[in-house]
Chains A and B, each alone.
Chain A
Amino acid sequence: MFVLFQALTCGVSTLTITRPNNGLIVLGGQGTTGPSGTATAPADRRSCASVIHVVDGLLLPCPLNLAATTQQQQGQATPTPVPQPVPVPQQVPATAGQQAIPPVQTDATGAFQLAFGDAFARSEANSPSECDCLLCGKDNNFLHIACLM
């Protein structure tokens, strides 16, 4: 998928899709000016029931104006790079009734070493769907109780 980014008008909470000839997808709000960049985004990625689209522009509901509400910031801001890197596999803190998620590890080849034993690997191997049961890889049902017994 390819996505263009357009600047947005303050106060708009919708995104309008423009897709000439069913090709390049342009995201924008009403009253936008023009595209400000191009993208080389790959195909959609599913994260369980959600779909992730990589876009080449930051969608802003309003122009960034930190000075108006940030009392401690003085003078002209100097753009700095986005900090690099933040480790992707992170320990997810446990909440009540939940088990903490250990980080996803990779080996020297970049292959995933599984946080949940080999259950995830078996699911990946057995199932075309990312959201099938972790243990048996079937039914788009995430985790069968019976499989846990």
Chain B
Amino acid sequence: MISQTAHCLLFLQQAIQQLQQQGINVQGFQIFLQQTNLVEAFSDLQANATIFVPTDEAIQAALTANGVTFDQLTQRVDIIQDILFYHVVPSAVGGLALDSSQLTEGLVLQTSLTAPLVGSCFPSCRPAANEVLTSFCEAY
């Protein structure tokens, strides 16, 4: 039996792979997900989330601008986690993820940095800042 989450995870992987086949590298984002064990959360079937995925070049530019190495950053799971949450906009109750036509002038989006994803245990079981998230649903 293939779980629905596993199904969605496959699609997330497929979407990332398709990006890479088009020369759009998002491996840094993947590493962030893996470091924080948030791959599954970002593939949550119930999330209906709008996810902004930075390219490797975007990550590199930010690191350079801040004088930080990738290795240094990946040692700070708490910071990576905040960055990832800041790239996710949870849906409103009963709402759907936003496509580009819905990203209209003046729209203010509350990110998952403070708002939980609707219909999901993520990130209501979010750990304290200095903890490693071992299983996003473990405490739910």
**A and B held together in a complex:** yes
Contact of A16 among B10, B65, B83, B106 (CB under 8 A): B106
- Complex CA–CA separation, A109 to B19 (angstroms): 16
Known: A15-B89, A49-B97. A54 touches B55 (CB 8 A): yes
Instruction: Determine the main DSSP class of A at the interface with B.
Output: loop
- Complex CA–CA separation, A149 to B113 (angstroms): 42
Known: A50-B48, A52-B53, A142-B45. A92 touches B39 (CB 8 A): yes
Question: A81 to chain B: which residues have CB within 8 Å?
Answer: 60, 70
The smallest beta-carbon distance between A142 and chain B, in angstroms, is 5
Q: Are the CB atoms of B16 and A50 closer together than 8 Å?
A: no
- Complex CA–CA separation, A112 to B13 (angstroms): 12
- Complex CA–CA separation, A106 to B17 (angstroms): 10
- Complex CA–CA separation, A97 to B30 (angstroms): 25
- Complex CA–CA separation, A81 to B59 (angstroms): 9
- Complex CA–CA separation, A63 to B100 (angstroms): 27
| Contact indicator per residue, chain A 49-62, by CB within 8 Å of chain B (1) or not (0) | 11111111111111
Known: A99-B6, A115-B10. A50 touches B58 (CB 8 A): no
Q: Determine if B126 is an interface residue (Cβ-Cβ < 8 Å).
A: no
Question: Among A62, A92, A104, A106, which residue has the most Cβ atoms of chain B within 10 A?
Answer: A92
Q: Are the CB atoms of B51 and A52 closer together than 8 Å?
A: yes
The size of the chain B interface, using a CB distance under 8 A, is 90
The smallest beta-carbon distance between B102 and chain A, in angstroms, is 9
Please give me the residue from chain B that is nearest to A61 by CB atom: B86
The smallest beta-carbon distance between B82 and chain A, in angstroms, is 6
Q: Are the CB atoms of B53 and A54 closer together than 8 Å?
A: yes
Q: Are the CB atoms of B73 and A49 closer together than 8 Å?
A: no
The smallest beta-carbon distance between B120 and chain A, in angstroms, is 10
Q: Are the CB atoms of B68 and A79 closer together than 8 Å?
A: yes
Known: A52-B51, A77-B68, A86-B30. A13 touches B114 (CB 8 A): yes
Known: A55-B55, A66-B73, A104-B14. A79 touches B106 (CB 8 A): no
Question: Among B79, B103, B114, which residue has the most Cβ atoms of chain A within 10 A?
Answer: B103
Contact of A58 among B7, B15, B27, B54 (CB under 8 A): B54
Question: A69 to chain B: which residues have CB within 8 Å?
Answer: 76
Top 10 A-B pairs ranked by shortest CB distance?
A58-B62, A51-B97, A48-B8, A64-B66, A1-B100, A17-B107, A13-B113, A82-B28, A79-B64, A13-B114
Q: A13-B114, A98-B3 are in contact. List 9 more A-B contacts (CB 8 A).
A: A16-B107, A16-B108, A19-B105, A45-B18, A58-B61, A61-B86, A70-B76, A134-B7, A143-B7
Q: 9 A-B residue contacts at CB 8 Å?
A: A3-B52, A17-B107, A50-B97, A51-B97, A59-B52, A64-B73, A79-B69, A85-B27, A88-B17
